[in-house]
Structure 1
Amino acid sequence: MTSRRSLRGIGAALAAAALVVSTAAACGSGGAKAQPPAPSTTPAQAAPAGRTEPPVQMPTGPKAHFKFSHNTSGGPIMVTTLKGARSGVTGKVWVWLPPEYKDPRYARSGFPVLTLFTGNTGVNYNFWAHEEVEPIQKTAVQMEKRHKAHPFIMVMPVLQMSTRQDTECSDIPGMPKMGTFLGEDVYAMVRANFRTLPGRDGWGLGGASSGAFCAVKLALEHPAKYRAAMSWAGYFSPEPQAGPRWTPQQMRANSPDETVKKRPDVRLFLLAGDRKLFRADRERVMQFKRLVQAPTTAQVEIQKNGGHYTADLQKLLPDILAWFTRSLKGPVAGS
């Protein structure tokens, strides 16, 4: 398969971009004044008679320690080091809160959550958190102002622990339990710290290339937690070079090609380009689409002259945010 190899040409650039941004943040964070305040865990008061209270799942705690990472034109990015209670994995998670999160009109409302998985190896970085690579926060603010997209909480975890040990977002004996870390521990941390929406209808997963595999895989495995997933230039079965110690049974157990046959009630958005060099991306999407049966749904978008580069993904950000807005519930402003 070519999906991971096709990113190798930009892998160094992505890692360099992440390094440059993190270095700039360390030099210009401005200390404690730049750190966004932690969200309140005070329970919402009862609504007055005759008024409907906006839907909200208040933070359950315990509070994570967030610190300022860096600024984007859409607002600051925070970061925490999460010690997964269920997985035993420790990894960084970046979080962006939309401006509406601190707006008094939304003080009693929960917000939908997008967990975004990076492409390439995702060791100690996530390119969705860096505007120089994927300006999704900037695009989100612009669309929110035009009422074209929900305000989303964006959660951006590391993808794996080592470049020498690709776990494919799975729990494989002898490897870090990244399936549990990404699918359960990160989810629990977000619920513990932020106002979210009750139930699964405010939770979505999205990813690029190797991260796209993770987004679809985890959504299909956890339909009680996640309502929708987006895949850009992804693949749908573990790549042979990813885990030489995997057994055939483990490969099948962690393959979306197999999990989708269980027909979980999940909405999927599958994107790929039509450029000849990356025709394998398009072919994988179309093959996977043929496996989808109700109540699972899949919308396919083939990008004209699109490829497997971040510049192609940038052009699709409005479509991605609009699709998540149609697929997930949004916050409700109070009176």
Structure 2
Amino acid sequence: MEPRPRTRAVGAALLTAALVASTAAGCSSSGAKAAPPPSTTPAPAAPAGRTEPPVVMPTGPKAHFRFSHNTSGGPIMVTTLKGAKSGVTGKVWVWLPPEYKDKRYAKSGFPVLTLYTGNTGVNYNFWAHEEVEPIQKVAVQMRKRHKAHPFIMVMPVLQMSTRQDTECSDIPGMPKMGTFLGDDVYRMVKANFRTLPGRDGWGLGGASSGAFCAVKLALQHPDRYRSAMSWAGYFAPEPQAGPRWTPQQMSANSPTEMVKKRPDVRLFLLAGDRKLFRSDKERIMAFKQIVRPPTTVQVEIQKNGGHYTADLQKLLPDILTWFTKNLEGPVPAK
């Protein structure tokens, strides 16, 4: 079998190209071919019989958010979160949909998408930058056409140092990024924003190295997260990322092993079919074969797609549509 290309090296190249020049450089894509959807019934906008908008009000303590920058979909806020459980301090960017401040939704909670960046994710998250991944712009456009829920989007850093590749896990001797991302960020969101009861309004998504994190954390915390999306991801820790791990720790942090426990989670796996990046497709097809109910998986292979931000941009409508079908949405007052 061909060795797997270094995922973060590819991610660094695509991110640099996106920020410095154009995300379309070296890419072309002419659409996607989707596999049949999972047989499970998509989550409804609100459970049958509910007479009042679903909501969990913020519990506090209130985090200090400041303005970061504008997008065509609205402003991005940022806070520096000091993780109470992990001891990690890192930036978290948040985008609130226009409906969040709409009086009709004042008593409703909102679904939350936590999005993990590609590459190392040290002190940045490219989902928060429209010139890289314009997901907020696309979300507003789709919402106007009643094609997507209004989502709260949460975009944390992925790790603390380029010299400490933590794989979104608690590695001995390194920052506890698994606890920071899977617990501290989750609790911060619930403390500051109107969310939905239970796990049916919570989803994770990621690109490349962030895709590993999205699937891993969803499988690790099925009591908190209903759905996870992976674009061009992988499903086992990269050996060079965990030199201090024992084989048992590697296994304990591997989505390939976690999924064998059959957690009730819905997965959406995407990749391109370009020969240069055929390992992206091969990994998701191999992972799909070991998924068993109640875990469900939907695969989408992008025709002539690669491992570039330009390819991911073209898939944003499909991603938001999938999350809308698989997560509960807010309910306006009648």
Common topology (TM > 0.5): yes
1:286 partner letter = M
The answer to whether structure 1 residue 154 and structure 2 residue 148 are counterparts is no
Tell which deviates more after alignment, 207-216 or 241-250: 241-250
Instruction: Report the more deviating stretch, 135-144 or 237-246.
Output: 237-246
**Deviation of the 1:16 alpha carbon:** 5.9
For 1:288, give the aligned amino acid: F
Q: Deviations over 1:263-297 (max 9, x none)?
A: 00000000000000000000000000011000000
Question: Cα deviation per residue 1:169-209 (whole Å; 9 max; x = unaligned)?
Answer: 00111010000000010000000000000000000000000
Partner of residue 198, structure 1 = 197
Q: 2:16 aligns with which of 7, 12, 16?
A: 12
List alignment gaps of at least 5 residues for structure 1. 18-50
Give the secondary-structure state (helix, strand or coil) at the position aligned to 1:207.
strand
Q: CA deviation at 1:8?
A: 3.1
Is the contact between residue 119 and residue 209 of structure 2 (CA under 8 Å) also seen in structure 1?
A: yes
| Amino acid of the structure 1 residue aligned with 2:324 | T
The letter for the 1-side match of 2:297 is A
Corresponding residue of 2:132 = 133
> Which secondary structure state, in structure 1, belongs to the residue aligned with residue 239 of structure 2?
coil
Note the residue ranges of structure 2 that are not aligned, 5 or more in a row. Answer: 22-49
Kept after mapping to 2: 8 A contact 1:83/1:91: yes
Report the alpha carbon displacement of residue 129 of structure 1 after superposing the two structures with TM: 0.1
Q: Is the 8 A contact 2:202 2:327 kept in 1?
A: yes
How many angstroms does 1:10 deviate by? Answer: 2.5
Secondary structure of the 1:219 match is helix
Question: CA offset at residue 298 of structure 1?
Answer: 0.3
Q: Secondary structure of 2:241's match?
A: coil
Whether the 8 Å CA contact 1:14–1:127 is kept in 2: the answer is: no
Q: Aligned runs of 1:22-33 on 2, under 5 Å?
A: none
Q: How many residues align?
A: 303
CA distance in 2, matches of 1:307, 1:323: 21
State the AA in 2 paired with 1:156: M
Q: How far apart, CA to CA, are the structure 2 residues paired with 1:156 and 1:303?
A: 25
Q: Is the 8 A contact 1:115 1:206 kept in 2?
A: yes
Distance in 1 (alpha carbons) for counterparts of 2:304 and 2:53: 43
> Whole-Å Cα distance in 2 between the matches of residues 141 and 99 of structure 1?
8
Cα deviation digits, residues 84-124 of structure 1 (max 9, x gap): 00100000000000000000000000000000000000000
- Matching residue of 1:218: 217
Counterpart Cα distance in 1 of 2:177 and 2:305: 30
1:246 CA drift (Å) = 1.6
Q: How does 1:149-298 map to 2 (within 5 A)?
A: 149-298=148-297
Structure 2 letter corresponding to 1:229: A
Q: Which residue of 2 is the match for residue 314 of structure 1?
A: 313
Please state how far the C-alpha of 1:249 moved relative to its aligned partner: 1.1
Counterpart amino acid of residue 248 in structure 2:
Q
Distance 1:65 1:82 in 2: 9
2:124–2:157: 8 Å Cα contact kept in structure 1?
yes
Distance (whole Å) between structure 2 residues aligned to residue 243 and residue 133 of structure 1: 29
CA RMSD across the alignment? 1.4
* 1:145 matches 2:144: yes
User: CA shift at 1:15, angstroms?
Assistant: 6.6
Greater shift, 237-246 or 219-228, is seen at 237-246
Separation in 2 of the partners of 1:275 and 1:16? 24
Q: CA deviation at 1:7?
A: 2.0
CA shift digits 1:12-34 (9 cap, x unpaired): 345769xxxxxxxxxxxxxxxxx
Distance 1:4 1:161 in 2: 15
Code of the aligned partner of 2:13: G
Secondary structure of the residue aligned to 1:94 is: strand
CA distance, structure 2, for counterparts of residue 163 and residue 202 of structure 1 = 32
**Separation (CA, whole Å) in 2 of partners of 1:91 and 1:6:** 24
Higher relative contact order (CA 8 A, sep 6+): 2
| Percent identity of equivalent pairs | 84
Secondary structure in structure 2 of the residue aligned to 1:269:
strand
Preserved contact between residue 15 and residue 132 of structure 2 (Cα < 8 Å):
no
